[in-house]
């Protein structure tokens, strides 16, 4: 029996789609059978981030309305044989599917695969309700910004009201040097406000932009620090106990030397 995990945030642009793509791909890289499902109807992006846009024939609306079979609507990933994408429709809107339809799709998928990662649209309206309809667990993505944290707090409340208590937090785009200087909220500041379990912290990384444009999830890039952070998150989802990585950017030779002489 598979597990449905919805990736949500309230605020737009904090990295829901990137997180969904990386967690899904990361789980597939660990040998799991995974379906990524984009519920952002009308503003689909997950297909682009996964580099699968040219393969779309059917979408979630076609599946929901019975225009095609579930299997036909599952696009096979080009990297992993057991990773699939169900894209959103671009020419429709959020009302094109109902909560019951999404619930039914999730229930059917759970029989087939290990994980269903649902990419939720921004906002708290119908699209959000659709996205969480069939979910067993929730991941809340936020940035170290007051506005994003506030929206995350609102979302956590809504998730609890819909039977999705204990969501886990992914803190995205953290810049350690700004935190050090007191210009950015720290992980602890945010956890104090949101009071939920931390799933992972992703450093701000230019590679994300490059990999997103190329349609190659960062989690597969062994050099990328954000990729490492996502790999750790995947391991935590699979039940491993992985400590938080050191976010400090690699220091130069002289800084290391200095540290050595200081004795720490």
Partner 1 sequence: MGEAVSFKGNKDGIVLMLDCSVEFESLCQMIVQKLWQSRSFLGERTTLTVHSGDICLDAGQRLALKVLLQSLGHEVRAFVPEECVDTETSPVEKSTSIAPQISEKPAPAKNVLQHKISQQEVPAELTDVAHYLADGALAVRKNVRSGQKIAYNGTLIVFGDVNAGAELVATGHILVLGTLRGVAHAGCQGNKQAIVYATSLNSLQLRIADMIARAPDGEMPERRVPEMARIIDNQLVIEEI
Give the CA dihedral 97, 102, 103, 104, nearest 10 degrees: 90
Q: Which residues make Cβ contacts (< 8 Å) with residue 131, sequence separation at least 6?
A: 6, 8, 39, 102, 118, 119, 120, 121
Minimum gap (Å) between residue 206 Cβ and partner 1: 19
Minimum gap (Å) between residue 121 Cβ and partner 1: 13
Cβ atoms of residues 112 and 69 within 8 Å: no
Pick from 33, 42, 46, 43: nearest CA to 7: 46
- Measured from the CB atom, is 30 or 90 closer to partner 1? 90
Span near partner 1 by CB under 8 A; candidates 54-62, 105-113, 145-153, 254-262 = 54-62
> Residue 255, Cα to own-chain centre: how many angstroms?
35
Span near partner 1 by CB under 8 A; candidates 15-23, 47-55, 94-102, 177-185 = 47-55
- Is 43 in a helix, a strand, or coil? coil
Paired strand residues for 64 = none
Q: Does 166 bind partner 1 (CB under 8 A)?
A: no
Rounded alpha-carbon distances, angstroms, from residue 44 to 71, 115, 196, 248: 20, 21, 29, 34
Q: Does 176 bind partner 1 (CB under 8 A)?
A: no
- Measured from the CB atom, is 55 or 236 closer to partner 1? 55
Q: Does 55 bind partner 1 (CB under 8 A)?
A: yes
Minimum gap (Å) between residue 85 Cβ and partner 1: 14
- Measured from the CB atom, is 26 or 87 closer to partner 1? 87
| Among residues 3, 29, 30, 53, the one that binds partner 1 under rule CB under 8 A | 53
Q: Does 95 bind partner 1 (CB under 8 A)?
A: no
> Residue 121, Cα to own-chain centre: how many angstroms?
11
Region for 126 from its dihedrals, namely left if φ exceeds 0, alpha if ψ lies in -120 to 50, beta otherwise: alpha
Q: Does 54 bind partner 1 (CB under 8 A)?
A: yes
Q: Does 43 bind partner 1 (CB under 8 A)?
A: yes
Instruction: Tell which positions 211-240 bind partner 1, by CB under 8 A.
Output: 214
Instruction: Tell which positions 70-89 bind partner 1, by CB under 8 A.
Output: 72, 78
DSSP one-letter string for 178-207: HHHTTSS--HHHHHHHH-SEEEEEEE--HH
| Among residues 3, 29, 82, 90, the one that binds partner 1 under rule CB under 8 A | 90
Among all chains, which residue has been given the structure tokens 């990419």?
Answer: 119
Q: Where are the beta strands (DSSP E) in the chain?
A: 3-8, 34-38, 75-76, 83-86, 115-119, 137-142, 168-174, 197-203
- Measured from the CB atom, is 176 or 215 closer to partner 1? 215
Minimum gap (Å) between residue 38 Cβ and partner 1: 13
- Measured from the CB atom, is 94 or 225 closer to partner 1? 94
| Among residues 2, 51, 144, 200, the one that binds partner 1 under rule CB under 8 A | 51
Site residues (vs partner 1, CB under 8 A): 42-44, 51, 53-57, 62, 67-68, 72, 78, 90-91, 214
């Amino acid at each position: 029996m598979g597990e449905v995990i919805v990736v949500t945030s309230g605020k737009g642009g904090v990295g829901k789609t990137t997180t969904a793509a990386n967690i899904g791909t990361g789980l597939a890289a660990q040998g799991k059978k995974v379906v990524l499902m984009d519920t952002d109807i009308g503003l689909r992006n997950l297909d682009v981030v996964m580099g699968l846009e040219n393969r779309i024939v059917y979408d979630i609306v076609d599946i929901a309305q019975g225009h095609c079979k579930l299997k036909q609507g599952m696009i096979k990933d080009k990297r992993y044989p057991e990773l699939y994408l169900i894209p959103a429709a671009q020419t429709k809107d959020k009302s094109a599917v109902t909560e019951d339809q999404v619930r039914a799709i999730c229930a059917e998928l759970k029989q087939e695969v290990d994980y269903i990662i649902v990419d939720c649209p921004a906002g708290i309206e119908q699209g959000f309700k659709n996205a969480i309809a069939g979910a067993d667990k929730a991941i809340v993505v936020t940035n170290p910004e007051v506005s994003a944290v506030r929206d995350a707090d609102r979302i956590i409340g809504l998730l609890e009201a819909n039977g999705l208590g204990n969501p886990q937090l992914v803190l995205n785009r953290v810049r350690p040097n700004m935190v050090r200087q007191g210009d950015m909220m720290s992980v602890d500041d945010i956890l104090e406000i949101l009071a939920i379990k931390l799933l992972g912290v992703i450093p701000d990384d230019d590679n994300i932009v490059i990999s997103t444009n190329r349609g190659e999830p960062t989690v597969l890039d062994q050099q990328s620090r954000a990729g490492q952070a996502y790999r750790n998150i995947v391991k935590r989802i699979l039940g491993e106990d992985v400590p938080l990585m050191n976010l400090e950017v690699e220091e130069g030779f002289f800084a290391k030397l200095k540290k050595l002489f200081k004795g720490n």
